Amino acid sequence: MMVTDGLIEGIRQGRIPVLARAISLVENGRDGYERLLSALHPLVGRAHRVGITGPPGGGKSTLIERLVQVYRERDITVAVVAVDPTSPFSGGALLGDRIRMDSLTLDPGVYIRSMASRGAHGGLATTTREVCDVLDAFGFERIIIETVGVGQSELAIAGSADTTALVLVPESGDGVQVLKAGVMEIADLYLVNKADRPGADRLVQEVEVMLGIRRGNALRHVGPHHGPATTGSGKREAEDVSEWSPPVLTSVAVSGEGVTELVEAFDAHYEHLEQSGELERLRREGLARHTRDVVDRALSNLVWQEGDGAEILAEKLDDLASGRVSPYKIAHDIVAHLQEAPE
């Protein structure tokens, strides 16, 4: 109890060492973590959360480094949560080739944290959200969430941000394949990075054509598309905020080209969300989904950690392996046992 109280107070006071301890508590699901998150809940919801996703090797980390620099020049505080196991932020644990971005990490207005993608106690998406909630409550104005845009769970994480950007690069069929499979309808912005390479223009066109097809199929857009122009200005016509047409931007992250435009497109999307009422709807949906996840986690803990589930299962393991009893019969018994014994 005392520990959690201290953490809550420290986060309200904006103390970085306390933040690190609070995040560890949440990430590892240690005693009192739900009490901490519950106490922080009224403080959550002020940050703009941006999900950045795409295949590995797309230059996402360099891009994020540049984004952070642009935000800091504007005196905006920013936290980065790396869920991408291939990200240098996450650290190539094996070879220890973690890139240390000293210029960023010495700045108290920047906080970088990687998620341990294995062993997240109740699902990586749920835990990532909770870590972002702590950073949000702490007062960071932007939270960038880096994921790899191929897996389902990673897409779910990126999709839970207010704004989601998909980063593609020329000379790689991957991104277009992902798009073709209909996986990335989720993105609010498309960015062709490494745009100084051959094939960049073609990729921009391909993505635009594909988005056009999708728009056509969806039959939602009858007139000309509103939303940011595809030239990367990030500006939109002021009179129509009800529709958002995902823009296709370009950048060369290593030189910083296009990064300011990207920041402006993020801001424009957030403004759209606020003015259209979408932000409130998205946040309510997100809170409802998160509550469901917390319930499912609690029930799972009730059976496997606090209850007799593990014991019942262990007793039946030989019968299970020999084929005498099915997983469904055992599951039925375990659930029935939980309901019989509410204490």
Residues in 24-83 at the binding interface with a second copy, rule: CB under 8 A? 34-35, 37-39, 41-45, 55-57
Question: CB 237 → a second copy: shortest distance, Å?
Answer: 28
Contact flag: residue 99 with a second copy (CB under 8 A): no
Contact flag: residue 144 with a second copy (CB under 8 A): no
Q: Which is nearer to a second copy, 38 or 105 (CB)?
A: 38
Q: Which is nearer to a second copy, 229 or 335 (CB)?
A: 335
Number of residues in contact with a second copy, rule: CB under 8 A?
82
Candidates 196-204, 206-214, 235-243, 255-263 — which segment interacts with a second copy by CB under 8 A?
206-214
Are 325 and 316 in contact by the 8 Å Cβ rule? The answer is: yes
Question: CB 184 → a second copy: shortest distance, Å?
Answer: 10
Residue in 12, 70, 72, 86 binding a second copy, rule: CB under 8 A: 86
Contact flag: residue 20 with a second copy (CB under 8 A): no
Question: CB 143 → a second copy: shortest distance, Å?
Answer: 18
Q: Which is nearer to a second copy, 201 or 285 (CB)?
A: 285
- Residue 273 CB-density burial (10 A; 0-12 exposed, 13-18 middle, 19+ buried): buried
DSSP string for residues in 234-249: ----TT--S-----EE
Q: Which is nearer to a second copy, 51 or 55 (CB)?
A: 55
User: How many other C-beta atoms are found inside a 10 Å radius of the C-beta of residue 289?
Assistant: 15
Question: CB 115 → a second copy: shortest distance, Å?
Answer: 10
Q: Which is nearer to a second copy, 203 or 265 (CB)?
A: 203
Binding mask 213-252 for a second copy (x = CB under 8 A): xx--x-----------------------------------
Contact flag: residue 124 with a second copy (CB under 8 A): yes
Question: CB 80 → a second copy: shortest distance, Å?
Answer: 17
Question: CB 343 → a second copy: shortest distance, Å?
Answer: 8
Return d(Cα 166, Cα 60) in angstroms, integer.
Answer: 10
Candidates 219-227, 238-246, 269-277, 298-306 — which segment interacts with a second copy by CB under 8 A?
298-306
> What is the three-class DSSP state of 304?
helix
User: How many other C-beta atoms are found inside a 10 Å radius of the C-beta of residue 285?
Assistant: 11
Q: Which is nearer to a second copy, 109 or 123 (CB)?
A: 123
User: How many other C-beta atoms are found inside a 10 Å radius of the C-beta of residue 24?
Assistant: 13
Q: Which residues does 323 contact at the CB level (< 8 Å), separation at least 6? A: none
- Residue 333 CB-density burial (10 A; 0-12 exposed, 13-18 middle, 19+ buried): middle
- Alpha-helical segments (H) within the chain: 2-12, 16-28, 33-40, 60-73, 102-105, 124-138, 152-159, 174-180, 200-218, 259-276, 278-301, 309-322, 327-340
Buried b (16+ CB within 10 A) or exposed e, 99-117: eebeebeeeeebbbbbbeb
Report which residue type is found at 86.
T
Contact flag: residue 95 with a second copy (CB under 8 A): yes
Binding mask 250-289 for a second copy (x = CB under 8 A): ------------------------------x--xx--xx-
Candidates 234-242, 251-259, 266-274, 334-342 — which segment interacts with a second copy by CB under 8 A?
334-342
Residue 226 CA, distance from chain mean position: 26
> What is the three-class DSSP state of 189?
strand
Contact flag: residue 181 with a second copy (CB under 8 A): yes
